[in-house]
Amino acid sequence: MSTTQTNKIEIIKAATSKINEVDFENLSFGSIFTDHLFECDFKNGEWQKPVIKPYAPFLLDPSSRVFHYGQAIFEGMKAYKDEDDAIWLFRPDENYKRFNKSAVRMAMQEVPEDIFMNGLKELLKLDEAWIKRGKGNSMYIRPFMIATGTGVIANPSDNYKFMIILSPVSAYYAGEVKVLIAEHYSRAANGGIGAAKAAGNYAAQFYPTSLANKQGFQQVIWTDDATHTKLEEAGTMNVFFRINDTLFTAPVSERILDGVTRKTLIDLAKSEGINVDVRPVLVSELVEASKNGTLKEIFGAGTAAVVSPISGFSYQDVYHELPNNEDSMALKLKDKLTNIQNKIAEDTFGWTVKV
């Protein structure tokens, strides 16, 4: 291992690379990590010296607050390589802002912009060989922060660890996605933490999702917990509904994550002349539109799966199959978006940022 300093980040390089052990043709999402990680600790009331070092397990006290009280947040973003091997990020400022919004809601320390952004960029540069060119290929970036303060008392931690890890991913076909509309279980409360990318929000969905899986549905579309009449979002995706030629999606709220893909697709759709209506969408409207044939598409939108067409939904034990569309808006928007992300089409929106 060799030690150098770049922009105040200490860099400890791995003695050898694991890259040759990786089969880039058969990547399973989020399971392979690059040679290095970025780490910065908050303790004694301040952020300590950031460091990039070999990816490896680290030590935590058994009474660390992350284990007992769940102070843990994360982000999900991607980096892309263009034909000239330049590395690009997609709207990283949105992820940075959302990360600190999550931090505030979970009573955690906000991460300074230079630590987040420089850490991210230096790490990507160091492990750049792991980023593959070509549409669908990207580097999935996982910034996260956990409470490392000790003591089993239900108070916010004094100490935090902020880390960034990188996982190379390729385009993936999720298979057919059938969804179940939630009638009893919920992912978020009014006045709760649904709008934060808090770790606890995800574990909360696993059990109801496993019940849906057993019935043959890959995902759940959550509804508002008070009435279960309004469509909200899926586990890791916001959701769009196409009725005739208008796209509908729920407004973001304290129950719904303000997805970067969602807001990007809204702008892209508008620029294509598609009518987009952001308003609460009722389950009853969806059922009605399905019955009278005006419901054309449903799709999820999120960084991991980009745009994920849904083939049908179940509500009150009735399965509604969606039609096959020649002119799928989902696929059209996905194509537009990935062309911009992979620097194949011009980015007239100024969304892409060079590392």
Ligand X SMILES: Cc1ncc(COP(=O)(O)O)c(C=O)c1O
Among 176, 206, 244, 271, binds a second copy (CB under 8 A): 206
Q: Measured between alpha carbons, how far is 129 from 198 in angstroms, rounded to an integer?
A: 31
Maximum separation of any 2 CA atoms in the chain, in Å: 66
Using CB under 6 A, which of the segments 47-55, 62-70, 117-125, 236-244 binds ligand X?
A: 236-244
Q: Examine residue 86 and tell whether it contacts a second copy (CB under 8 A).
A: no
* Position 100 contacts a second copy (CB under 8 A): no
Q: Give how many residues touch a second copy by CB under 8 A.
A: 70
Question: Contacts with a second copy in 36-55 (CB under 8 A)?
Answer: 37, 55
Q: Strand 352-354 relative to strand 281-282: parallel, antiparallel, unpaired? A: unpaired
Is there binding between residue 239 and ligand X (CB under 6 A)?
A: no
Give the pair of three-digit tokens for residue 154: 């239900």
Which of the residues 213 through 232 are near a second copy (CB under 8 A)? 225-228
152: exposed, middle or buried (Cβ count in 10 Å: 0-12, 13-18, 19+)? exposed
105 touches, from ligand X, a second copy, none (C-beta below 5 to 8 Å by class): a second copy
Round to whole Å and give the CA distance between 54 and 132: 20
How buried is 319 (Cβ within 10 angstroms: 0-12 exposed, 13-18 middle, 19+ buried)?
Answer: middle
What is the distance between the alpha carbons of residues 238 and 281, in angstroms, rounded to a whole number? 13
Nearer to ligand X by Cβ, of 54 and 156: the residue is: 156
111 part of the interface to a second copy, by CB under 8 A: no
Nearer to ligand X, 303 or 352 (CB): 303
45 Ramachandran zone, left/alpha/beta (phi>0; psi -120 to 50): left
233 binding ligand X? (CB under 6 A): yes
Using CB under 6 A as the binding rule, whether residue 71 contacts ligand X is answered as no
Binding site for ligand X (CB under 6 A): 76, 197, 233, 236-238, 257, 259-262, 301-303
